[in-house]
Structure 1
Amino acid sequence: MAVEYYDFGPYKIHHSSVFHTTDLSFAFVNLRPVVPGHVLVCPKREVKRVADLTDDENIDLWRITQKLGRQLESYHNSSSLTFCIQDGPHAGQSVPHVHIHILPRKSGDFENNDDIYEEINEKEKELKRKLEVDIERKDRSLEEMAQEADEYRKFVL
């Protein structure tokens, strides 16, 4: 039987938003991307901190991140990548499940390159507030996210 949802901390990620899986990890499109191609990679097992990953999970997570980063950079005609991990609540981690942000970067996408980290933090805080309280959301639809995931599945072998 196919998986309908993937656990991401206390949240459920619909399978249509997931575009790559291994035995240990999965990658999915972002509900509120900071830049085009902003995706997340995380272990299937709910792990709160990087230090709690097994060696196999750590290797798999970074192997997928490296592979997808290269493919997303090419797909989005980018020249660079930002990889971001917030490891623990005081580091800005809003979902207590290890995850790596992959963000394809282009010249001029942010006036100051480091502003992207503040944008990520703001998006995560905003998402957490919206998920905790049932307010009208401006998130992407499941259909929009599924369409993006379908595009990425084409190049993930």
Structure 2
Amino acid sequence: MKETSCLFCQLVQDHPVQENEYFYARFDKYPVTPGHLLVIPKRHVETLFELSEVERSTLFPFIEECKNLLEEQFSPTGFNFGVNQGQAAGQTIPHLHIHLIPRYPGDLPDPEGGVRGVIPGKRKYRSSPE
């Protein structure tokens, strides 16, 4: 079911980069790195936990298709992917969207800790070598 006021429900027909029966992908309007994609369910849900069993079973194969597309077009050497779920986690559009972020050598001086950086003081979890 689509929500008429939902941005992602409106964009589903607007030339996705990749799509299947349940999801579509489009480049992020404010990319973190070149090729930053959003994977978005066509059905209006706010969280991962609201996906149906069939949607869940097709999600990771679809993400892998998107990863392959990004590897062909952008040649990244790594990826981060994640979900901002709920206002406290930074979700600004109340429609589930999964960030698939290509990573490149030197795009961050020290990427250790990856997604742990959502809380900057917690990104580093190991002691620095002395």
Q: TM-score with structure 2 length normalisation? A: 0.74
Q: Equivalences for 1:37-56 in 2 at 5 Å?
A: 37-56=35-54
- For the pair 1:100 / 2:98, whether they are aligned, the reply is yes
Show CA shifts across 1:16-74 (max 9, x none).
44122211111111111111000111110010111111111112222111221133124
Inter-CA distance 103–9: structure 2 relative to 1 (3 Å threshold) = farther
Partners of 2:104 and 2:65 in 1: CA distance: 19
Give the aligned length: 113
**1:35 corresponding residue in structure 2:** 33
- For the pair 1:61 / 2:53, whether they are aligned, the reply is no
**What SS is found at the alignment partner of 2:81?**
strand
Partners of 1:109 and 1:84 in 2: CA distance: 18
Q: TM-score with structure 1 length normalisation? A: 0.62
Q: Could you tell me which amino acid in structure 2 is paired with residue 63 of structure 1?
A: P
Inter-CA distance 117–96: structure 2 relative to 1 (3 Å threshold) = farther
- For the pair 1:10 / 2:13, whether they are aligned, the reply is no
Which of residues 68, 71, 90 in structure 2 aligns to 1:70?
68
Partners of 2:5 and 2:66 in 1: CA distance: 22
**What SS is found at the alignment partner of 1:18?**
coil
**1:129 corresponding residue in structure 2:** none
Partners of 1:86 and 1:105 in 2: CA distance: 19
Partners of 1:78 and 1:44 in 2: CA distance: 27
**What SS is found at the alignment partner of 1:35?**
coil
8 A Cα contact 1:8 1:97, kept in partner: no
> Which gives a bigger RCO, structure 1 or 2 (Cα 8 Å, sep 6+)?
1
Residue ranges of structure 2 left out of the alignment (5+ in a row): 119-130
Partners of 1:35 and 1:8 in 2: CA distance: 30
Q: Equivalences for 1:84-95 in 2 at 5 Å?
A: 84-95=82-93
8 A Cα contact 2:80 2:115, kept in partner: no
Partners of 1:14 and 1:22 in 2: CA distance: 11
Deviation at 1:106, TM superposition (A): 0.8
8 A Cα contact 1:8 1:46, kept in partner: no
Q: CA RMSD in A?
A: 2.6
Residue ranges of structure 1 left out of the alignment (5+ in a row): 1-5, 119-157
